[in-house]
Amino acid sequence: MAESRDRDQPADGRARAVIDAVRPAVDGGRFAVKRCVGDRMTVEADCFTDGHDQLRVMLRWRPETEKAWRELEMQPLGNDLWRASFPLEALGRYRYTVTAWVDHFLTWRTEFARRTEAEDLRVAARVGAAQIAQIAARASGKARRRLADWAQALRAAEAIEALRPVALDEELAALASKYPDRGLAVHWPAELPLDVDPVLARCSAWYEMFPRSASRAPGRHGTLRDVEARLDYVAEMGFDVLYLPPVHPIGRERRKGRNNALLAGPGDVGSPWAIGAREGGHHALHPELGTLEDFRRLVARARALGIELALDIAFQCAPDHPYVGEHPQWFRRRPDGSVQYAENPPKKYQDIYPFNFESGDWRALWDELKGVLEFWIGEGVRVFRVDNPHTKPFAFWEWAIETVKRAHPEVIFLSEAFTRPKVMHRLAKLGFGQSYTYFAWRNTRHELTEYFLELAHGPGREYLRPNVWPNTPDILTEALQYGGRPAFMARLVLAATLAANYGIYGPVYELCESEAREPGSEEYLDSEKYQLRHWDLERPGSLRPFVALLNRIRRENPALQSDQGLRFFDTGNEQLICYAKIAPAHGNAVVALVSLDPHHVHSGWVELDLAALGIAPDAPFQMHDLLSGARYLWQGARNFVQLDPQRVPAHVFRVRTRVHREQDFDYFL
Which residues carry out catalysis?
387, 416
Smaller CB separation from its own copies, 190 or 583:
190
CA 477, distance to chain mean position in Å, is 25
Give me the least distance between CB of 20 and its own copies, in Å please.
Answer: 5
Smaller CB separation from its own copies, 64 or 268:
64
* Helices 141-156 + 118-138 axis angle, to 10: 160
Which is nearest to 326 in space by CA: 366, 270, 365? 365
Q: Which stretch binds its own copies (CB under 8 A): 82-90, 352-360, 479-487, 530-538?
A: 352-360
Give me the least distance between CB of 458 and its own copies, in Å please.
Answer: 14
- Check binding of 16 to its own copies (CB under 8 A): yes
**What's the rounded Cα separation, in Å, for the pair 80 and 438?**
39
Three-class DSSP category at 580: strand
- Check binding of 28 to its own copies (CB under 8 A): yes
- Check binding of 349 to its own copies (CB under 8 A): no
Q: Which stretch binds its own copies (CB under 8 A): 25-33, 82-90, 307-315, 600-608?
A: 25-33
Binding residue for its own copies, selected from 85, 134, 152, 403, defined by CB under 8 A:
403
Binding residue for its own copies, selected from 39, 169, 236, 398, defined by CB under 8 A:
398
Cis omega (within 30 of 0) on the bond before 24? yes
Contacts of 88 (CB under 8 A, 6+ apart): 35, 36, 37, 38, 39, 40, 41, 94, 196
- Check binding of 165 to its own copies (CB under 8 A): no
Q: What does the angle CA 375 – CA 433 – CA 588 come to, to the nearest 5 degrees?
A: 130
The residues pairing with 603 across neighbouring beta strands, listed in sequence order, are 642
**Region 80-139 residues binding its own copies, contact defined as CB under 8 A:** 80, 111-112, 114-117, 120, 123, 126-127, 130
Helix (H), strand (E) at residue 92: strand 92-102
Binding residue for its own copies, selected from 86, 233, 349, 394, defined by CB under 8 A:
394
Cis omega (within 30 of 0) on the bond before 486? no
**Region 407-426 residues binding its own copies, contact defined as CB under 8 A:** 420-423, 425-426
Smaller CB separation from its own copies, 91 or 423:
423
Please state, as a whole number, how many other Cβ atoms lie within 10 Å of the Cβ of residue 154.
Answer: 23
Between the alpha carbon of residue 467 and those of residues 122, 398, 463, 520, 627, the distances in Å are: 66, 20, 13, 25, 23
Smaller CB separation from its own copies, 21 or 90:
21
Smaller CB separation from its own copies, 49 or 527:
49
The C-alpha R_g of the chain, in whole angstroms, comes to 31
Smaller CB separation from its own copies, 152 or 403:
403
Smaller CB separation from its own copies, 190 or 377:
190
Q: Which stretch binds its own copies (CB under 8 A): 223-231, 350-358, 531-539, 640-648?
A: 350-358
Cβ atoms 179, 131 nearer than 8 A = no
Give me the least distance between CB of 479 and its own copies, in Å please.
Answer: 25
Give me the least distance between CB of 9 and its own copies, in Å please.
Answer: 9
- Check binding of 160 to its own copies (CB under 8 A): no
Contacts of 47 (CB under 8 A, 6+ apart): 17, 18, 19, 20, 55, 57, 74, 80, 82, 98, 100
Chain residues binding its own copies by CB under 8 A are 1-3, 5, 7-8, 10, 13-16, 18, 20-21, 27-30, 46, 48-52, 79-80, 111-112, 114-117, 120, 123, 126-127, 130, 184, 190, 334-336, 343-346, 354, 357-359, 362-363, 366, 390-396, 398-399, 402-403, 420-423, 425-426
